[in-house]
Structure 1
Amino acid sequence: MTDYVNTLSNNSIANVYFMGRWVQRRFQDTPIMYTTNLGAEILFQIEDSTYFELQTILPDLETPQTLSIDIDHQLQLVSLDKATIRFELNHSHSHLIRIVFTGNTDADDVWQGNQGLAIKSIRASKNGVLHPIKPSGPLVAFIGDSITAGCWVRGSHPSIDYGADINYAALLSQMFNWEDYRIAYSAAGILCYGTGGVPAAPRFINYVDFNITAPAVNPSMVFINLGTNDKKFEESLFQPFFMQFMREVQSKFSSSKLFVIVPFDQTHVESITSVSETLNISIIPTKDWNIETIDGVHPDVNGSITIAQKLSDFLVHHQIS
């Protein structure tokens, strides 16, 4: 269970903490906090309140986005089918609130269509008080595709069965009290474009959408799990592009410890291993991990637990945390 500490607000919405890849922007002439990344979170403690109210600006979607709402470690999944949602509370004591952007669909145009998650406000009832909190450990970034984003963890239904809140990145972060900073998009790779208009990784690590530059961050560690979606490209093409990408990651996160997680299906394992060794980047082999999946590719709940435990074992064995 994650340990939390008090912190300061880091956004335009008072007294809450936005964890992950958020930007401040205006939409429909309204200031909002905005993200295109599953796994982005909102954290706060609330006191003397009978409810809190979350106000969003909903994009025009056929399938609503999904939020994971954790109130005092009791989790519920909420489909964002209305702009304002109220959550009732027992006001006799304080409550720890953790909100995770946990599901969307491949059809959502997050890159050019403003179909990310837009948070307008978070309000307590009269006399209620909000306090921003965050995990006690360092910020750690995860760069990847749908597996790292948390798609299809709970089942085969888009959005509601996604699990950005319980995938391997979320679980590993909770084990070590890390701030989970997710940079991952469905179907994307080193050369392969993602869904929703998302470009390949060399561009999406620097942008939140087609014209919003990603905020600068300085993570303690960066985990990269890419290449699964690049199956159709020959090693001779993939390897130089992976080399170029990893050099950019080294430059962008020059003070971070980097780890390359070999794709769980071992796609391009030779090129990924060779490049990582050449650049002196730690590589985490994943062969024979026996990961349970939903569809042969995407880890399910048990598979996510297996990955998190294997990564934890690697870090502990190498005295890294």
Structure 2
Amino acid sequence: MRSIPHSIRRLFALVMTASLCALGLSLGVTSTARAAALGNGSVTDPNIVYTGRWDLGSAGAAVPNWTGGYLQTAFTGTTVKVKAREAVNFYASVDGGPDVFYAGVKGTVTLTPQPLPQGTHTLRVSYRSGDTVFQGLVLDAGAGTVAPRVPSGLIEFVGDSITAGALTDRLALDSYGWKTGERLGMLHTQIARSGYCLVGKDGCTGLATQFFKTASTGDQNWDFSRYQASAVVINLGTNDIGHGVTGPEFQSAYTGLLRDIRATYPNAALFAVQTLKKRYVTETKAAVSARNAAGDAKVTYVDTTGWLTDGTDYEDGNGHPNEAGHTKFADRLAPIIAAKLGTAPLKAAPGQPGDPNIRFTGRWDTKSSATAYTPYWAGAYVRTGFTGRTVKLKQRNAIDLWASIDGGPATFYDEARGTVNLTPAPLAAGNHTLQVNYQVVAGSYHGDAVFQGLALDSGATTFAPPGPKNLIEFVGDSITVGTTTSQNARTAYGWLIGERLGADHTQIAQGGAALVDTADDRMSLEQQFTKLNPNAATPDWDFSRYQASAVVINLGTNDVGRGVTPAQFQASYASLLRKVRTAYPNAWIFALRTFSGRFGAETKAAVTASGDTRASYVDTTGWLAADDLSDSVHPNDKGHRTIADRLAPVISERLSGLPHVSRHDPR
């Protein structure tokens, strides 16, 4: 058995920990210290986290070994550059965005040709080929690095060209190992190289021994005190058959590798994957059984039969998956690993409802179903970034919807259902944005407003779109919904103001809604403002999902004629103001006089009596003329534009002094 060092030693920029939690999850990589001071971006900066087998023996150059090594950090300021010694190919992702490819660059390479907003940002750099040497970062004057948030577990993938992602466009980044690690929300390493075998024989390097080395070539032992894996996935045997390795030789070597990895990672879950070409299946199973019989219950054989389809999921006839094949592999493998680890968070695949790069604005039910998200109230929308040239929307049943790509005009889709092609003319290859919103489901309209995900190009992915710093919530009735306008919620004053001010926006409104709760069946917003669904008493809405910077209330039009007294109205308005303030402690609240003037005095009195210094009464007298209305009550398109023209400057003046909207996990 190999003698593996267990001491933790300080290594320039990085300390890895060997302490494990009760379920076997380890902290795969940590920075040396969560220093309060800003780091300087040098190779030895403790705020730079290196994942993989990096050679940190030089204070001026960090070298990633094997494949799929990457570094992460966070930084302040508006720009970041990376220093490269000689020509190198690498990928860089800023603020969780897509991995941008830099081909054959050297010297000081700018990663932010367009400066970022002031603040704290994240960076990930992964190396592909060439002179793979990291020489540090260049930041703005006065800026520095801060410790990034990193996952609590690490998964290691051991294999040959298949595990390395050979023949795909992005190599390691397109491989099933990288994709599985990202899906599981874990750090990931790929101890893999094209042409490698399990058994070292007939000129083929054997990973039964090379796995324990710092690099894919050479004899320097890797210091396993640098990190501890939570899981190890082994996919070996495809190449051994061409080098005369017998069945008994293979089984013996596999059993030994499993034994030695266990000595290295005492608490890791080990997975022995059946090769896609089904080579040495019996021997692989026997090696797993031998380890199980020896008392190692955390070794699992993974049968990959039927995972990929010949002709569609491969790049060639030698078993190399294409990008779609690697994605399918990850989709099948990730749940198996998650189940064994117990607490590993399984991320949704790109484009699916649980994808963290998809932003849901408004009150969406994201908990009742993992595969179908439902928006409530009016004006809810979904937004994401995506790569590739096409995008399709998956709908359950018929619904009217609007979709805008790359900030262009919204296209209307009438009674859309099934898989809806949003790009009948393919886009230019690159990064794009998408926004989708559904027709308001209320009154006589009963479409199926359910988001079931996106269908993307093979190998494409999503990325988080830039988000506005503020969110404005509009509370009201059919006027706030945009009833009688050409596009309903989209042509209502709330939507128009949000777009004009560059803010996210929600419309907590429903046709026929009133303020006061009376004996009739008319919905009361004093009661339902705190609910997920305007027409259900439960569940309550989770206000930690987002925080509004401003709330605009326009209620009272429908309370007339229902026996509501002025005193009742004022008391209910005061109650709603208190609920809004509890929900949004820092928001500015705007209480509008209804455009018909109904209960205007009581609205103003409720605001005054509240004593809330961040609440304003807005007198709308004279805002609308006869030609601004489609009937005696509802504004038409022109009327809503008129309201936006008058109200937007009022909100904007207050927004300039408001804190940025805070966002939390939308699920």
Note if contact 1:71-1:97 (Cα within 8 Å) is conserved in structure 2.
Answer: yes
Pair 1:206-2:530 in alignment:
yes
Note if contact 1:11-1:17 (Cα within 8 Å) is conserved in structure 2.
Answer: no
Equivalent in the alignment of 1:191:
516
Cα 1:47/1:31, change in 2 over 3 Å: closer
Moved more, 306-315 or 116-125: 116-125
Equivalent in the alignment of 1:290:
624
Cα 1:234/1:116, change in 2 over 3 Å: farther
Note if contact 1:106-1:186 (Cα within 8 Å) is conserved in structure 2.
Answer: yes
Cα displacement (A) at 1:108: 5.2
Equivalent in the alignment of 1:87:
422
Cα displacement (A) at 1:95: 3.0
- Secondary structure of 1:45's match? strand
Cα displacement (A) at 1:31: 2.8
Cα 1:34/1:104, change in 2 over 3 Å: closer
Equivalent in the alignment of 1:221:
550
Pair 1:306-2:642 in alignment:
yes
1:1-321 to structure 2, matched below 5 A, reads 12-26=354-368, 31-49=371-389, 51-58=390-397, 65-72=399-406, 73-88=408-423, 89-93=425-429, 94-107=431-444, 117-154=449-486, 162-191=487-516, 199-209=523-533, 210=536, 211-216=538-543, 217-232=546-561, 233-280=564-611, 281-291=615-625, 292-316=628-652, 320=656
User: Matches of 2:653 and 2:504 in 1, distance apart?
Assistant: 22
Unaligned runs of 5+ in 2: 1-93, 98-349, 658-667
Larger radius of gyration: 2
User: Matches of 2:368 and 2:522 in 1, distance apart?
Assistant: 21
User: Matches of 2:622 and 2:96 in 1, distance apart?
Assistant: 41
Cα displacement (A) at 1:188: 0.4
Cα displacement (A) at 1:40: 0.6
User: Matches of 2:647 and 2:656 in 1, distance apart?
Assistant: 11
Equivalent in the alignment of 2:204:
none
User: Matches of 2:364 and 2:501 in 1, distance apart?
Assistant: 22
User: Matches of 1:279 and 1:116 in 2, distance apart?
Assistant: 41
Equivalent in the alignment of 2:171:
none
User: Matches of 1:181 and 1:290 in 2, distance apart?
Assistant: 23
Note if contact 1:190-1:241 (Cα within 8 Å) is conserved in structure 2.
Answer: yes
Q: What amino acid sits opposite 1:300 in the alignment? A: N
Cα displacement (A) at 1:310: 0.3
Cα displacement (A) at 1:318: 6.1
Cα 1:98/1:213, change in 2 over 3 Å: same
Normalised by the size of structure 2, how large is the TM-score? 0.41
Cα 1:26/1:80, change in 2 over 3 Å: farther
Cα 1:244/1:315, change in 2 over 3 Å: closer
Unaligned runs of 5+ in 1: 59-63, 110-114, 155-161
Q: What amino acid sits opposite 2:579 in the alignment? A: E
Q: How many residues align?
A: 295
Note if contact 2:394-2:418 (Cα within 8 Å) is conserved in structure 1.
Answer: yes
Cα displacement (A) at 1:316: 4.9
User: Matches of 1:76 and 1:290 in 2, distance apart?
Assistant: 29
Q: What amino acid sits opposite 1:97 in the alignment? A: L
Normalised by the size of structure 1, how large is the TM-score? 0.81
Cα displacement (A) at 1:260: 0.7
Cα 1:103/1:6, change in 2 over 3 Å: farther
Cα-Cα RMSD: 2.8
Note if contact 2:526-2:572 (Cα within 8 Å) is conserved in structure 1.
Answer: no
Cα displacement (A) at 1:85: 1.3
Which 4+ runs in 1 deviate beyond 3 A? 5-11, 102-105, 315-321
User: Matches of 2:458 and 2:654 in 1, distance apart?
Assistant: 50
Percent identical residues? 19
Cα displacement (A) at 1:248: 2.2
Higher relative contact order (CA 8 A, sep 6+): 1
Structure 1, residues 126-154: CA drift from partner, whole Å, max 9, x if none?
A: 23332231442212211111222222211
Note if contact 2:400-2:416 (Cα within 8 Å) is conserved in structure 1.
Answer: no
Structure 1, residues 6-57: CA drift from partner, whole Å, max 9, x if none?
A: 7789961353211122121335xx63211122211111222222x2121123
User: Matches of 1:141 and 1:116 in 2, distance apart?
Assistant: 24
Structure 1, residues 248-298: CA drift from partner, whole Å, max 9, x if none?
A: 222222222111111111110010011111114201110001251222222
